[in-house]
Amino acid sequence: MSNIGSYEERVKNFNWKISEDELSYNAGDVINIGWYCSDRICQMGKADKLAMIWEGLGGKEKKYTFDDVRIKSNVIAQFLRDLGIKNEDRVCLFMDKIPELYFGCLGILKIGAIAQPLFSAFGDESLHVRLENAETNTIITQKKHVSKVRKILEKMPYLKHIVVVDDDGRKPLRERELAFNMDEAEDVNQFEIFPTKAESPSILHYTSGTTGQPKGVKHVHYSLISQYLTTKWVLDLQENDIYWCTADPGWVTGTSYGIIGPWSLGITQCVLDTGFGADSWYRFIEKNKISMWYSAPTAIRSLMKAGDEVVEKYDLSSLRHLASVGEPLNAEAVIWSEKVFGLPFYDTYWQTETGSMMICNFPGMKVKPGSMGKTVPGVTGGIVDPETFEEITEPNKGGLIAFRPGWPAMMRSYWNNEETYQSKFKNGWYIPGDKSTIDGDGYFWFMGRDDDIINTGGHLVSPFEVESALLEHESIAESAVVAKPDMVNMEVVKAFVTLNAGFKPTEELELEIMNFIRKRLSPLAMPQEIEYLEKLPKTRSGKIMRRLLRAQEWGEEIGDTSTLEDD
Amino acid sequence: MEEMKDVILEYVTNEYLEEDDDEISYDTPLISGGIVDSFSMASLKRFLEVKYKISIPDDKATPEAFDSVDKIVELVKEYVS
């Protein structure tokens, strides 16, 4: 029996109080995610239950109980408090998927500070813009990533501490750097947790926008209410499940459903801190007897590409429920997973700003391969006209996805960017920026983005950010960046550039530019292809017409070109 | 072919390893080991194509085929005339 039971009944009788009651929360109470994910679980008698099975490079394994999670997060919290970090200070987590990242997140929340997780593959420029916007007080990182912080240190007077969790003393630490070893630190059994309330800020995730710099999406501790319930009802996590969320906590899935959801339910989860490999992933599932697996379409398509014969080498019979997030899950992937695992992947739709799942395929509900599913109980969603923002009720007619604000995990603002935050609300709806249809049965069907943002492997990349970074390369005069279709990642970054005098359009230069962006921004933002042009298509007013270049890549009609400048 | 092995090993070391990463060898897992991510594979593929004047079809540029210097050498040898 699934946790949700009848979807229709849940929708009919829904109230967020269901979640509040299960978490013993009453309006006005203290609510601290760090406490809910560790201390409370211990108080419920699960102190000795495994909370995390972690595996790193070379098969190195570590296991932690919920009592370990409680103590380790206390240790980090105490360390940060002793450094003088106060509630609402921003503390960045810039690490691979090591245990310190997970316990560090809870430790930060326990002192009432704001956790700012950033993807460890970010280059120095991507790191800088995000730390600068948040005026981050402290960054917790590994020695392998410290060099990126050092490169930008002079530009960040607000950054007071650089905490290195794996310093081995072989190289001297520099200005503002200090070593902290979680495993060698003395246990902190009792810790006075900061009394955060529902609207106290918790996590700051950065997401890309079409124009301007990345936006800091501010979440609050009350987000727990919807993260807890959706984990229970959509991911269907049950007491004896072994759960694996493949997402990195540098992205919202990795915190909402890679830390908060499972641990607030007291569920054992696995973390694999290595790269992708079909064999290594299947072996990890087999070895740990994973029963619930939450992954992404890019990974699923990569597994499809690796072939069915790889699947057959492993005993994956422990799997009982699969779900996916990040980009639309194509029907072929759903059908393939039913064939090889005997289970479909259930697609879930949400985004950094929504903080928790919004449109999903629920256990027990008929899955229509290729569909996003139906709205989560408690969420009012629909399709609206892109001009008037009036709801479209006619089935199968395309429009913008829209949600009525009010679910607990909804972002509370963009950091230092209230104007952009307000622009996301139209006619009483929150507009996430995606297009869809709804069929006669109430299922949503994804159509695409309503802007130029590139969704590559489930991660959003801003064309503006890549274009700006490209212009910093000495050879490039002008740049335009668009999405290019890709079988595995759905979309990848493609750049069109014109060169400054004295530079030749060679393959060597293309490689140099690719690596330049990879290191400056991130591997995700690196153009997978660069096309040299004599000139970029522009309007008569000089604006680059990205849509023409995009249409060319997607084989679409180029549409109205009346504003295109003359040759 | 020893030279090709060393050229590729040096390139991967210089381009993809962080300052404090451990040294890698010819059989170190690159993709499954998290040293080169799947997005960065495109730049490694382009390096091989430029360096050895070959074209590697996209369907051959898989995480498995790029998972170590040894495996990459095997792949490149297929296309070097």
Tens digit of each residue's pLDDT (9 = 90 or more) over A15-30: 999 999 999 999 999 9
Tell which CATH classification among 3.50.30.10, 3.40.50.720, 1.10.3720.10, 1.10.1200.10 matches the domain B2-79. Answer: 1.10.1200.10
- Tokens at residue A87, please? 């509630």
Spell out which residues of chain B touch residue A278, defining contact as CB-CB under 8 Å: 63-64
Tell which CATH classification among 3.40.50.360, 3.30.300.30, 3.90.700.10, 3.90.1300.10 matches the domain A454-554. Answer: 3.30.300.30
- Contact B51/A at CB under 8 A: no
CB atoms within 10 A of CB A532: 17
Q: Does residue A114 contact residue A411 with C-beta atoms inside 8 Å?
A: no
Residue of A nearest to B20 (CA): A144
Give dist(CA A523, CA A120) in Å, integer.
11
SS3 (DSSP) at B14: helix
Q: Does residue A261 contact residue A227 with C-beta atoms inside 8 Å?
A: yes
Give dist(CA A50, CA A2) in Å, integer.
23
Domain range list for chain B: 2-79
Task: Report, as an integer, the average pLDDT of A325-349.
Answer: 92
Residue among A144, A128, A138, A134 nearest A163 (CA): A138
What pTM was computed for the model? 0.92
| Torsion sign, CA atoms A463, A465, A466, A470 | positive
- Residues 6+ away with beta carbon under 8 Å from A459: A251, A326, A524
Q: What is the pLDDT of residues A92-136, one digit of tens each?
A: 999 999 999 999 999 999 999 999 999 999 999 999 999 999 999
Dihedral class, residue A284 (left if φ above 0, else alpha if ψ from -120 to 50, else beta): alpha
Distance of CA A55 to the CA centre of its chain: 21
Task: Report, as an integer, the average pLDDT of B58-81.
Answer: 92
Q: What is the pLDDT of residues A495-507, one digit of tens each?
A: 999 999 999 999 9
Flag whether pLDDT at A212 surpasses 90.
no
Interface probe, candidates A151, A514, A517, chain B, greatest B C-beta count within 10 A: A514
**Residue A178 confidence (pLDDT):** 97
In this structure, CATH architecture of domain A7-437: 3-Layer(aba) Sandwich (3.40)
Q: Does residue A69 contact residue A103 with C-beta atoms inside 8 Å?
A: yes
Reported ipTM: the value is: 0.93
**A82 φ/ψ angles, rounded to the nearest 5 degrees:** -65, -25
Spell out which residues of chain A touch residue B39, defining contact as CB-CB under 8 Å: 456-457, 489, 492, 518, 523-524, 526, 528
Residue A566 banded pLDDT, cuts 50, 70, 90: low
Q: Do B19 and A305 touch (CB under 8 A)?
A: no
Q: What is the pLDDT of residues A189-205, one digit of tens each?
A: 999 999 999 999 999 99
Exposure string for A165-186, b = 16+ CB within 10 A, e = fewer? bbbeeeeeeeebbeebebeeee
Angle between helices A507-520 and A124-134 (to 10 degrees): 30
